[in-house]
Chain A
Amino acid sequence: MTDTQTQPQHAETDDARSDLISRVRTILGRRTEGRAVALLSVVVVITAITEPIVFTSYEVTLGRIALIGLVALGLTAVILMGELDLAVASTLAVSGVIMASFESITIGILAALGTGLLIGVVNAFFVIVVGINSFIATLGMLFFLRGAAFVISGEAPVRLANVDAGIAFGRPLIGPLSPRMLIFIAAFVMLHIFLTRVRAGREFYAVGGNREAAHDAGIPVTRRVFTGFMISGFVASLAGVINTLERTAADPTAGSAVLLASFAAAIIGGVLLNGGRGSVFGTLLGASSLGLLQVALTLSGVQVDVQNIVIGSVLLLAVITDPSSLRAAAGSMRALVRSRSGP
Chain B
Amino acid sequence: MTNDTSTGTVSAPKPAALEEKLEEQAFKLSAWMANQGIFIFTAALILFAAVFIDGFVSLPNITDVFNRAAPIGIVAAGMTFVVISGNYLDLSVVAQVATAGVVLIAVSNETSIPVAMLVAVVIALAYGLVNGVAVGVFKANAVIVTLSTTFIGLGLLRWATGGSIYFGPSDGAIRAFGATRIGPLPLAMILFVVVTLILSFVLTRTTFGFMVRSFGSNREATRLSGVSTPWVVIGAFTVTSLAAMLGGFVLAAFSNTAVSAMSDGYDFRALAAIIVGGTSVFGGRGSVLRTLLGVVFVSVLTNIMVLSGLGFGIQQMAIGLLIVLAVSVDALARKATGA
Contacts and interface: CB of A to CB of B under 8 A. Distances in A.
Interface string A91-126: 000000000000000000000000000000100011
Interface string A143-162: 11111111100010000000
Contacts of A324: 139
| Interface residues on chain A, size class | 35 or more
A316 to B, nearest CB: 4
Interface in B248-306: 268, 271, 281-282
Given A150-B311, A260-B151, A263-B144, A137 B327 contact: yes
Contacts of B327: 132-133, 136-137, 140
Contact of A220 (B6, B140, B152, B230): B6
A155 B313 contact: yes
B181 interface: no
A126 B282 CA distance: 15
A140 B148 contact: no
Contacts of A149: 313
Interface string A244-280: 0000000010000001100110010000010000000
A130 interface: yes
A210 interface: no
A315 B317 contact: no
Contacts of A308: 151-152, 154-155
Contacts of A252: 313
A325 B148 contact: no
A49 interface: no
Interface in B23-50: none
Given A312-B151, A312-B155, A320-B138, A144 B320 contact: yes
A315 B138 contact: no
| Interface residues on chain B, size class | 35 or more
A139 B267 CA distance: 11
Interface stretch (A23-31, A171-179, A191-199, A326-334): A326-334
Interface string B142-167: 01110111111011101100000000
B316 A329 contact: no
Give chain B's interface secondary structure class: helix
Contact of B311 (A131, A146, A155, A319): A155
Contact of A332 (B2, B136, B150): B136
B91 to A, nearest CB: 8
Interface stretch (B56-64, B119-127, B188-196, B328-336): B328-336
A335 to B, nearest CB: 7
A84 interface: yes
User: Which of B141, B320, B335 is packed against the most chain A CB atoms within 10 Å?
Assistant: B320
Top 10 closest pairs, chain A to chain B, by CB = A147-B316, A150-B313, A144-B320, A143-B320, A147-B317, A312-B151, A328-B139, A140-B324, A309-B155, A308-B155
Interface of B: 1-3, 5-6, 88-89, 134, 136-141, 143-145, 147-152, 154-156, 158-159, 223, 226, 228-230, 268, 271, 281-282, 311-321, 323-324, 327-328, 331-332, 334-335
